[in-house]
Amino acid sequence: MKKKLLFIAALFMLLNTAMAQNETSTISADRPGMSTGTDVMPKGKIQWETGVGYESVGGSATYTLNNTLLRYGLVDRAEIRVGMDLLHEGSTTGLSALNVGTKISLVENRGWIPAVSLMANMQSPHIGNKSFLPSHLAPQLYILCQNQVTEWMNIGYNIGAEWDGAVAEPSTFGAICLGFSITENLGCFVESYNYFHSQGNIYAMDFGFNWVILSNLQLDIAANLSLQEMQNHMMVSGGIAWLIS
C-alpha cells in the first residue's frame, strides 16, 4: 500500500512540475517509432524521452525495462543526444551500450522542399553490460527528411548507415513514415522501416499513437511487426516525453 501511495505521489509531482513549465513551449519528440523526425531542440532546452518495451523474436523475449534519451539544444539548429537502455534478456539484466550523438538542422521545409537534418550517433563498447555491448565502436549516420503535406498530415523519410561494431560492412537503414493529426493533441503514425545487409535484409512496419497532454508532456504507444515472419516477431512499446525546460 505504501508503495502505491509513493507511486501516486511521484506521478502527481511529475505532472505538477510539468504544468509549471512554460506553457508556450510545444513538445516535439523523437519517439515513438523507428524513424526520426527532423526537429532539433531549441538552444538551451532539454528534453527527456523514456519508455518500456517488449520484443519477441522466434520465442526469445527481450524486455526494455527503461529506455532513456536526453536531448539538449547546444546551439541554434544543433542538439546533443545521450541515450541508454536497461534491458532484460534470458537471465541477463543490464544496461545497453551508451549512445552519444548529435542532430543538426540543415534545411527548413518550404513547399515541396523538405526539412532536412543530419543525425550522427556512436555506441560505446566500454560502457554498459558486456552482454549488450558491441565489440568495437559502432557509429550510425542518418539523413532525415520531412514534408508537411497538409495541416493534418506529414511524411517523413530517413536513410542511413549503421555499423554494429562486429563487422566492417554497415547495414543500410531506410524508413518512410506517414503522420496524421487526429485532433490538436492526438496524433497517429504508420511507417515502413527496413535494413539492408549482405547477410540478410529486414522488412518491418510499425504504427502507434501520441497524445500531447500538456504543451511540454507527451504520452505514446506503438507496435512493430515483421513483414517477413509476422508470427515469429513482434514488439510493443509505450513511453513519455517531457520538455523539462
Over residues 224-245, the mean pLDDT reads: 91
pLDDT of amino acid 232: 81
SS3 content of the chain, % helix, strand, coil (to 5): 10, 60, 35
pLDDT at 129 over 70: yes
Helix ranges (H only) for 41-187 are: none
- Mean pLDDT of all residues belonging to the chain: 90
Query: Using an 8 Å Cβ cutoff, are 42 and 36 in contact?
Result: no
Q: Give Cα separations from 182 to 161, 179, 187 (angstroms).
A: 33, 10, 5
Neighbours of 195 (CB within 10 A): 17
Using the predicted structure, report yes or no on whether residue 187 has a pLDDT greater than 70.
yes
**Separation between Cα atoms, residue 7 and residue 74, nearest integer Å:** 33
Collapse the DSSP code of 115 into the 3-class scheme (helix H, G, I; strand E, B; otherwise coil) and give the result: strand
Q: What residues contact 12, with CB distance under 8 A and at least 6 apart?
A: none
For residue 200 the three cell numbers come to 540478410
pLDDT attached to residue 26: 78
Confidence tier at 245 by pLDDT (50, 70, 90)? confident
Q: What is the pLDDT of residue 87?
A: 97
User: At 134, is the pLDDT very low, low, confident or very high (cuts 50, 70, 90)?
Assistant: very high
Query: What tens digit of pLDDT does each residue of 140-186 get?
Result: 999 999 999 999 999 999 999 999 999 999 999 999 999 999 999 99
Show the cell assigned to 133. Answer: 555491448
Mean pLDDT, residues 117-127 taken together? 96
| pLDDT tens track for 201-212 | 999 999 999 999
- How does pLDDT run across 34-91, given as a tens digit for each residue? 999 999 999 999 999 999 999 998 878 999 999 999 999 999 999 999 999 999 999 9
- What is residue 10's predicted lDDT score, i.e. its pLDDT? 44
Q: Which residue has the higher pLDDT, 234 or 4?
A: 234
Angle at 37 between CA 245 and CA 228, to 5 degrees: 135
Mean pLDDT value across residues 112-129: 96
72 Cβ contact partners less than 8 Å away, ≥ 6 residues apart: 41, 45, 46, 47, 79, 80, 81
Does 117 have pLDDT greater than 90?
yes
Q: Is the pLDDT of residue 137 over 50?
A: yes
All residues at 6 or more sequence positions from 2 whose CB lies less than 8 Å from its CB, including other chains: none
Q: Quote the pLDDT of residue 58.
A: 80
Residue 168: all three cell numbers together:
566492417
Q: State residue 128 phi and psi, 5-degree precision.
A: 130, 180
Q: What is the pLDDT of residue 59?
A: 78
Measured CA to CA in angstroms, residue 172 lies from 31, 33, 104, 129, 202 at distances of 21, 17, 20, 26, 10
3 pLDDT above the threshold of 80:
no
Amino acid at 32: P
**244 in the Ramachandran plot: left (φ > 0), alpha (ψ -120 to 50) or beta?**
alpha
User: What's at 15, amino acid-wise?
Assistant: L
Residue 15 is predicted with a pLDDT of 40
Q: Is 142 helix (H, G, I), strand (E, B) or coil?
A: strand
